[in-house]
Structure 1
């Protein structure tokens, strides 16, 4: 039996879950999320918890069991407290600022990069070198953060670029310069 899939999902106050015709919807104080689910699993909502069970013991059912339990758990956390991802920009003259629905980034290129902010996430700049991406959908927050990071990935010699707050950049030693 799946260790993740057999755990019940506790629902915080203000969060409602409905599973009808292969579609699960989770609604809470921050918004509403909808997800389709496969017929290999059954979702039962009882009181203040959600339980995911599988119909049989086939390999596919076992895989979907844990997957959908975790997806529903992520949806519950998203609509109740939301997700946040912080990006740190390091480098001389590298900075970011929000201009309406655009994120303007100066990342050492000859032109300024304008990143269109999607409607389902919010982006804020705490200071010119810190970008905070927030939203209710964990996948979208991670995807947008990854797209911003890919504009200038951190390089291993000086560490210049856009990195996640908790990311550790493995540094390399430069040229030794003694021999010719």
Structure 2
């Protein structure tokens, strides 16, 4: 049995969880999220706590036990606090700015790159080189941050490009380092 799946999910005040069969809807001060979970798990609520259990001991039930618990916990955290991902832009002349809701990146290409946010995602730029992606769905926040990073991933020789805050880029020696 999954150690993560065994842990109960505590529901903070101002957050409500509605369980209808295999679909779970979580409402909170930041918004509402819903998800349908696989049939191999059973979701139950007792007061301010949600439990996720396996229906049987099959391999797929064991695999999806911890996953389902984590998905529900992320939904609860998202509607109560939200998620954010920071990106750093490193390189001379590279910059970002928000125009309306869209993010405009000048990354050394012949044209600026426009990125439209999915529903529920907001962009913020601190200075011109720090981008903040925020929203209530952890999966969409992470995917959007990955799409931004893919515009110009960090290169190993000078370290220029877009990287996650705190990401370590392994550097290589250039031609002079071959001696």
- Band of TM-score, shorter chain: over 0.9
Q: Which residues in structure 2 correspond to 1:157-172 (within 5 Å)?
A: 157-172=157-172
Q: Which residues in structure 2 correspond to 1:84-103 (within 5 Å)?
A: 84-103=84-103
Aligned to 2:155: 155
Return 5+ residue gaps in structure 1 as ranges.
Answer: none
Aligned to 1:39: 39
Aligned to 1:16: 16
Q: Provide the rounded CA distance (Å) in 2 between the counterparts of 1:46 and 1:95.
A: 50
Q: Provide the rounded CA distance (Å) in 2 between the counterparts of 1:171 and 1:150.
A: 18
TM-score norm. by structure 2 comes to 0.97
Instruction: Report the CA distance between 1:7 and its aligned residue.
Output: 0.5
Instruction: Report the CA distance between 1:176 and its aligned residue.
Output: 1.4
Q: Provide the rounded CA distance (Å) in 2 between the counterparts of 1:113 and 1:63.
A: 40
Indicate if the aligned counterparts of 2:101 and 2:122 stay in contact, CA closer than 8 A.
no
Aligned to 2:54: 54
Q: Provide the rounded CA distance (Å) in 2 between the counterparts of 1:119 and 1:5.
A: 29
Aligned to 1:138: 138
Return 5+ residue gaps in structure 2 as ranges.
Answer: none
Aligned to 2:106: 106
Instruction: Report the CA distance between 1:166 and its aligned residue.
Output: 1.8
Instruction: Report the CA distance between 1:19 and its aligned residue.
Output: 1.0
Over the aligned positions, Cα root-mean-square deviation in angstroms equals 1.2
Aligned to 1:128: 128
Point out the structure with the larger helix share.
2
Instruction: Report the CA distance between 1:115 and its aligned residue.
Output: 1.1
TM superposition outliers: structure 1 runs of 4+ over 3 Å: none
Instruction: Report the CA distance between 1:18 and its aligned residue.
Output: 1.1
TM-score norm. by structure 1 comes to 0.96
Instruction: Report the CA distance between 1:177 and its aligned residue.
Output: 7.4
Aligned to 1:6: 6
